[in-house]
Every structure is written in C-alpha cells, then in structure tokens.
Amino acid sequence: MKESTQDKSCACWLRYETIQDEQVKKQYNFWCSEVALTEQSALLQTAEQELVQALDAMLGGRPRDTGAAAGAQGGRIVIGVIGSSPARDQALAWSGPVPKDSDGYAIRSGTDEKGPYISLAGHSERGALYAVFHFLKLLQTGKKLDALEIQEAPANGLRMINQWDNMDGSIERGMRGSRSFMKITASLKM
C-alpha cells in the first residue's frame, strides 16, 4: 500500500525514505551493521529505537543490537553520554574535549581495535538523542560516513515546529484563538 501525501507530511523530519543509490546504501549498511548503547536509560533506548527504525526504513534491514564492547562484521554505531566514565568514553572511542553545552553532542567515525565505528555521543542523554537525529539527517542527505568529525551545541533550549504561533500564544495566518501549547511551554523551565 502506498503512503498518502498526508501521512508523509505528518511525519515531518521523521519520514525516512528508502535510499535509492545502491553504492550509498552499501556504504551505509557496512557502517550501520551494529548498534550499541554504552548505558541503559529510557532516553538512550528511545534514541536507539529511533535509529533502528530509521535504518530499517532507509536500508531495508535492522542492524544487530549488541553491547558496546562487541565487535562487528562491519561498522558499529555506539550511542552514549560523554564524560560519564572513562570506560564509557572508551566505548564511544572518545578522547577529545567534551562539548560545553548540556545538549551538545559529537559525531565521529573511525577505527579502533574492534573495527570501524561511528560514535554518537552527547554531553547529556538529550544531547545523545540530538546526535542520533543529526546522524539520520546525514544519512538522508547522502553524506559519506568515513571521516565524520562533528561537534554541535544547539543555540536554543526549546525546539519546536513553526506553526505560526507567537510566543504570547496568539496565532497568525487566519487562525483564531490561542494555543494551549504556548501556555504549557511557558511553564517549562529549560
């Protein structure tokens, strides 16, 4: 069954299209053959689930779920928090400075004694989740994975889709009334 246009538009940035270029798909399948978390938490497991779901949709198969210490037939993706412990930093193949922002993250590819890896490492669990979404954006735009060295620290604490809502809760573009979303976000302390 073909996905409707409305279904696609509702997915926003979470719509994962199948990679059509066979060379790119082959490269991605190699680098993404295993996924591992350096620690277990609800947020990191959500990041892993989103990554696995996206890889399944884009590459036509799920990577193996392994421990961070496992070796790979191809490459492995390791998701975790930088600076939480030397052992976890080693599993993330991390030896550089930690991004300063709490939502900051780093994406790095390389090779160690276990083989090729891609490290999706956040300064916090939320930063690790942002690293996963940035990595998925790289895949969706066909970027090469063999020399990744990315560090980001998001400028805004609150991220949302632009629905033409003003920060005071009023709405533009012909809609009437105010949104409860703005009242809820105003009460959040980021």
Residue 144's CATH number: 3.30.379.10
| Domain containing residue 113 | 13-152
Tell whether the model's pLDDT for residue 145 goes beyond 70: yes
pTM of the model: 0.74
Tell whether the model's pLDDT for residue 52 goes beyond 70: yes
Say whether both 39 and 105 belong to one domain. yes
Quick one: how many helices (H) and strands (E) in the chain? 6, 6
Vertex 25: Cα angle to 19 and 27 (nearest 5): 145
Q: Is residue 141 part of a domain?
A: yes
Say whether both 99 and 184 belong to one domain. no
Say whether both 126 and 177 belong to one domain. no
Q: What is the mean pLDDT of residues 127-148?
A: 93
Say whether both 80 and 133 belong to one domain. yes
Least confident of 11-15, 41-45, 165-169, 181-185: 181-185
Residue 160 vs residues 12, 53, 151, 187: alpha-carbon distances, Å: 12, 22, 21, 15
Q: Is residue 36 part of a domain?
A: yes
Which tops the pLDDT comparison, 106 or 83? 106
Question: What per-residue confidence (pLDDT) applies to 138?
Answer: 95
Which tops the pLDDT comparison, 17 or 11? 17
Say whether both 39 and 79 belong to one domain. yes
Say whether both 82 and 134 belong to one domain. yes
Domain count, the chain: 2
Say whether both 99 and 169 belong to one domain. no
Q: Is residue 3 part of a domain?
A: no
Question: What per-residue confidence (pLDDT) applies to 46?
Answer: 95
Q: Could you report the per-residue pLDDT of 54-69, keeping only the tens digit for each?
A: 999 999 888 876 655 4
Say whether both 179 and 143 belong to one domain. no
Instruction: Report the distance separating Cα 187 and Cα 97, nearest Å.
Output: 34
Tell whether the model's pLDDT for residue 122 goes beyond 70: yes
